[in-house]
Amino acid sequence: MIEAQSWTIPDEAAMRLLGAQMASEFKQGDVIYLHGNLGAGKTTFARGLLAGLGWMGEVRSPTFNLLQDYPTHPPVLHADLYRVASWEGIGVEDYLDSHLCLIEWPERMEGLLTDEEVFHLRIEFDAEDPSARQVTLTPPQSC
């Protein structure tokens, strides 16, 4: 069980490390909401998490292809929904059971998850100054 907590992350390397360290907390079927403004560090965290699962290849921001999946254990779906109005028509629902889903711009997920299939964790990324980021974990029951 992940508890609500918050850290100041000083640089990009530390953000990757945080993602890598958290990788073992998640399992197939978990949906992780990555909230935060453009450039707040969501993709950087996802890169670290994938590295923590042993992914040695590139992790591109799925800005244009929207969904990118990785054959890790568990398999990961990395989504960036910034460019769409909603999740409908993209196919993200096809990954919810089979993958660990990392969702950037999860505001667009509204209406997809039922009460029984709530997201597993919300992670908020706040840019404080040009380098430091405040990262806050919020489990669904404390929203």
Name the binder of 131 from ligand ATP, Mg ion, none, CB < 5-8 A by kind: ligand ATP
Residue 75 to residue 27: CA distance in whole angstroms: 9
Question: Between residues 26 and 125, which has the closer beta carbon with respect to Mg ion?
Answer: 125
Provide long-range contacts, Cβ within 8 A and 24+ apart, for 60-66. Answer: 62/104, 66/90
Q: Cβ of 37: how many Cβ atoms within 10 Å?
A: 10
Please, what is the minimum distance in Å from the beta carbon of residue 139 to ligand ATP? 21
Under the binding rule (CB under 6 A), the answer on residue 132 touching ligand ATP is yes
**Which one, of 54, 40, 38, 44, lies nearest residue 19 by Cα?**
44
Q: Which residues pair with 35 in a beta bridge?
A: 124
Name the binder of 4 from Mg ion, ligand ATP, none, CB < 5-8 A by kind: none
Question: Between residues 63 and 86, which has the closer beta carbon with respect to ligand ATP?
Answer: 63
Question: Between residues 10 and 54, which has the closer beta carbon with respect to ligand ATP?
Answer: 10
Residue span binding ligand ATP (CB under 6 A) among the ranges 4-12, 65-73, 93-101, 106-114: 4-12
Q: Which two structure tokens, joined as six digits, stand for 64?
A: 């244009």
CA gyration radius, the chain? 14
| Residue selected from 5, 39, 88, 97 as contacting ligand ATP according to rule CB under 6 A | 39
Residue 81 to residue 104: CA distance in whole angstroms: 6
Residues forming the site for ligand ATP (CB under 6 A): 9-12, 15, 36, 38-44, 61, 80, 82, 104, 125, 131-133
